[in-house]
Structure 1
Amino acid sequence: MKTIRTRALEAEHQATFTPGDDERFSGYGVMGLPFSSGYVLAMRRFPLTSVGPGYTSVWLRRPNGSWTIYADAAPDVSCARYFSAGLREAVQCDVGLDWTGDTSFTMSVGQDVDLTWDVELESKPITAAMSAVMTAMPNMLLSNKVFLKTMGSAAGPMLGAGHLGLAGSVPNKQGFLAKPRRMWFISRSSATLGGEDLGTPQPLNVQARLADFWIPQRGLFVIGASAFDPFDPARHLPATRRTP
């Protein structure tokens, strides 16, 4: 049986686009992980995108509710292209991703930020079953907004993750579709920011979200793809930029 790291590396080296003329991303990430301190972390590794070079990003929500996205690509070709209107800032900087074992990896964000995040993953019967079902689904079904919304509403409670938004609108007003193919739970995680321990994984009192993209109340690592409406300056907001 292939390890999680092997699956992730395959997603790195064998990434392909799903059919369509929308803005497409292929890779993997942590949809979101809340901590007992009130911080929330997420990450994306998209080696293939239709809008620019591949990139890695870390999302950070502080206890006061403000969001920052750190990415090693410019905001207009990374996550901030869609989420900047909901952020305190979007920062282009070094973002590190190191697979430290078959089920574990470490994220790091530049010296000025001093963020280190360790993650351990595990498979459970429910994630294995969900992965089997999602892997078998035709792309046409995973491109249907009604189906994705229905699947998210059903899967979130089954996974103990609260509301799971797989389709809707992002803060910059583009429509989005999240197309998971495989998933695992985060079994353990720890993180420090500027030397501060962020605590242990724990659901927030009020589930966080960025427009229709809800942050799961339980850590989920997903391999799959995402699609967004093509940018239209008449209808969508531009990405904001901050480069230290």
Structure 2
Amino acid sequence: MRSPSEERDDRAMTHSHTPQTAAAEVAAAPSLPSGDGDRFTVFGVMGLPFASGHYLALRDFPAASFLPPSIPGYRSVWHRDPEGVWTFYATTPGPLSCARYFSSATSVDAVQCPIETHWDDDYTLTVTIPEKLRWTVAFRATPTTRLLSRIGTTLPERAWTSSSALGVIGRSAGMLLGAGQIRLAGASPNGQRFRVAPKQMWEVCASHAELDGVDLGSVAPLRTQARLGDFRLPQRGLGVVGQARFSQAANAALART
């Protein structure tokens, strides 16, 4: 059963008409999902593939249960190069970032660095890693994303904690969005079990990214869909607001710092 605060959060997200508004609301009043293990509230770009073979993703966590009180949240940019090598950038050290779940999937150490975000308008976001990355993303709402957002903000909490329900939601969303396979529950490369609840969604309609001064080119699906453990990176750019849970894993690999 959902708590009154979770009910209020879902009602608030239902009335968020733009990604900028939704992201601002989550940042202003983040609430963690109930349960044990690591828990997050997040706005981000679930993933974006480029015809050049590069892949980018953004995670902006205004709240994460494992962070000390001195660190209220963190940002992370994920990059996959055309050879399939992943690099995880974050504003926090590796063990306090996404690398704690995904580091064993790459030979590259996690990178701690500033990550800046700026809304150019209600639907356009610019992400910057100084002297490294400049990435602009334009979002739009479509009939499909509106439908999925309406479903996401009204589903009972038990659906977001059920692996079988998440399996059905992920398969349906992937098919409706033309985004390839989407798995909302499974195992991360470092051994933790994840459950992801995307409660609002927008399609990426345009993007331009330069990494180390190199233009990553046009947006297009990868020849083979990228994956990290059981987590599938979508073959179409998607912006999301939602929550996530990762269980503790006794045998989880240590994140590289």
Q: Normalising by structure 1, report the TM-score.
A: 0.95
Per-residue CA deviations over 1:138-164 (Å, capped at 9, x if unaligned) read 111111111101211121011010000
Secondary structure class of the residue paired with 2:27:
helix
Structure 2 residue 99 is matched with structure 1 residue 84? no
- Alpha-carbon separation, structure 2, partners of 1:110 and 1:66: 21
Structure 2 residue 42 is matched with structure 1 residue 21? no
Structure 2 residue 88 is matched with structure 1 residue 69? yes
- Alpha-carbon separation, structure 2, partners of 1:131 and 1:103: 16
Partner of 2:173: 155
Correspondence list, 1:54-203, <5 A: 54-87=73-106, 88-111=108-131, 114-203=132-221
- Alpha-carbon separation, structure 2, partners of 1:109 and 1:212: 28
- Alpha-carbon separation, structure 2, partners of 1:124 and 1:147: 24
Identity %: 42
- 8 Å contact kept, 1:67–1:89: no
- Alpha-carbon separation, structure 1, partners of 2:57 and 2:207: 12
- 8 Å contact kept, 1:18–1:139: no
- Alpha-carbon separation, structure 1, partners of 2:200 and 2:174: 15
Among 56, 59, 81, which residue is 1:44 paired with?
Answer: 59
My pick for the range that moved more, 215-224 or 140-149, is 140-149
Which residue identity is paired with 1:228?
F
Which residue identity is paired with 1:36?
A
Partner of 2:252: 236
- Alpha-carbon separation, structure 1, partners of 2:18 and 2:110: 33
- 8 Å contact kept, 1:160–1:218: yes
- Alpha-carbon separation, structure 2, partners of 1:100 and 1:48: 24
Which residue identity is paired with 2:104?
A
- 8 Å contact kept, 2:191–2:249: no
Per-residue CA deviations over 1:196-243 (Å, capped at 9, x if unaligned) read 1101110011101001110100001000011001242xx2111111xx
Task: Kindly tell me the number of residue pairs found equivalent between the two proteins.
Answer: 237
Among 9, 21, 26, which residue is 2:24 paired with?
Answer: 9
Unaligned runs of 5+ in 1: none
Partner of 2:8: none
- Alpha-carbon separation, structure 2, partners of 1:216 and 1:145: 19
Secondary structure class of the residue paired with 1:106:
strand
CA RMSD of aligned residues (A): 1.0
Partner of 2:242: 224
Secondary structure class of the residue paired with 2:169:
helix
- Alpha-carbon separation, structure 2, partners of 1:204 and 1:194: 21
Secondary structure class of the residue paired with 2:153:
helix
Q: Normalising by structure 2, report the TM-score.
A: 0.90
CA positional deviation for 1:89: 2.4
CA positional deviation for 1:21: 1.3
Partner of 1:209: 227
